[in-house]
Chains A and B, each alone.
Chain A
Amino acid sequence: MEAYSEALRGGILMGVASWILLAGAGRVSAVSTITSGVLTSRRQSSLWRWAFLIGLAGGGALFAWLLNAPHVPLRSSLMLVPAGFLVGFGTVLGSGCTSGHGVCGLGRRSQRSLLAVLIFLVTGVFTVLVVSLMPPAEWWASLVMEGLQWLFRR
């Protein structure tokens, strides 16, 4: 239970931040939408997005240092590249991520966001399940090697 108190306080802070952005600047704090907006919008209209992202990245580094946040790399780079691409593609296609649909969308009582949240939660659960049941990378590597050997022997 105690571990969850940090989680709860962190979540409340995130909610407060979203509230500040809404009431203060009239924007929704959907990180994926803000980021993709930076990529595709004109410079002038994106200044607020840069400000938000700089606050996010700068603050993230500062608080990680202040709070001594551990960071254990969980996945190999080989998996992070396709995963990153999928996250980027999926969040823009689906117009949101955990902050956009999850925090803000649900806060706005959006049915669309509720559906999106349910879908990506279920998909995430399913993905973790499948990955845990799959053979390790070495098994796949040896399979590829055998396939290549067979190919070149012909």
Chain B
Amino acid sequence: MSASITSGSTSSHATRPVRSGAELVISFLAGFIFSAGLVMSGLTQPEKVIGFLDIQQMFAGAFPGRWDASLGVVIGGAVVVTLVGFALTPYASARPWFGRSFSLPRHERIDARLVLGAVIFGLGWGLSGYCPGPALASLLTGQIDTVIFVMAMLPGMWLARKL
């Protein structure tokens, strides 16, 4: 599964028209399949996440007790796939199937924003058992708690962007 190779050109000047319709479809498909994985793995249930983070459960009875390692298994499974996929995708030299170019985050340095952001995120995540993906995946399921969470999340995101 590799992106199509152009004639060695890496400039943003497109040598073929950007098929943005197809790009939208592929983006939708990715979100769709991602949501399937989230729901199937049980990560849309906050108690699965809390169950993983609750290390006290490891001591409820013989080790590993009642500890739920699901989150670790999910991320592990996902990372095995992305390790292979990202290694096979020549994003430095080619073009994606449908987009104009690869838009990957530049490797920025490790700074206070990263560390602080991760701590703050971890705090909210540990409090609720939700992170953006599962919350948005559950947004339309009629559960009011995910709606509340997302409505509180968006202003937080907006504020961080402004800083």
Contact = CB atoms under 8 A, between A and B. Distances in A.
Interface residues of A, number: 107
Main secondary structure of the interface of A (DSSP, over half): helix
Contact of B136 (A35, A70, A74, A116): A35
Contact of B127 (A94, A120, A127): A127
Size class of the B contact interface (CB-based, 8 Å): 35 or more
A115 B114 CA distance: 9
A20 B29 contact: yes
A86 B31 contact: no
Contact of A19 (B32, B81, B102): B81
Contacts, number: 499
A123 B77 contact: no
A88 B152 contact: yes
A88 B120 CA distance: 9
Interface in A52-96: 52-65, 67, 69-75, 77, 79-95
A128 B127 CA distance: 7
B35 interface: yes
Given A7-B41, A112-B114, A24 B121 contact: no
Interface string A27-64: 11101110110011000000111011111111111111
Given A7-B77, A80-B152, A87-B156, A69 B45 contact: yes
A98 B37 CA distance: 14
A9 B68 CA distance: 16
B47 A74 contact: yes
Interface string B43-63: 111110010011110000000
A19 B84 CA distance: 9
Interface of A: 3-4, 6-29, 31-33, 35-36, 39-40, 47-49, 51-65, 67, 69-75, 77, 79-95, 97-99, 101-104, 106-112, 115-117, 119-129, 131-132
A53 B31 contact: yes
B133 A98 contact: yes
Contact of A20 (B2, B30, B108): B30
Contacts of A75: 46, 127-129, 145
Instruction: Return the 9 tightest CB-CB contacts between A and B, nearest first.
Output: A94-B117, A10-B41, A15-B81, A107-B82, A88-B156, A123-B122, A127-B126, A55-B31, A11-B77
A63 B34 CA distance: 11
B148 A81 contact: yes
B86 A39 contact: no
A17 B35 CA distance: 9
B27 interface: yes
Contacts of A117: 118
Contacts of A91: 117, 121, 131-132, 157, 160
Contacts of A79: 127-128
B27 A52 contact: yes
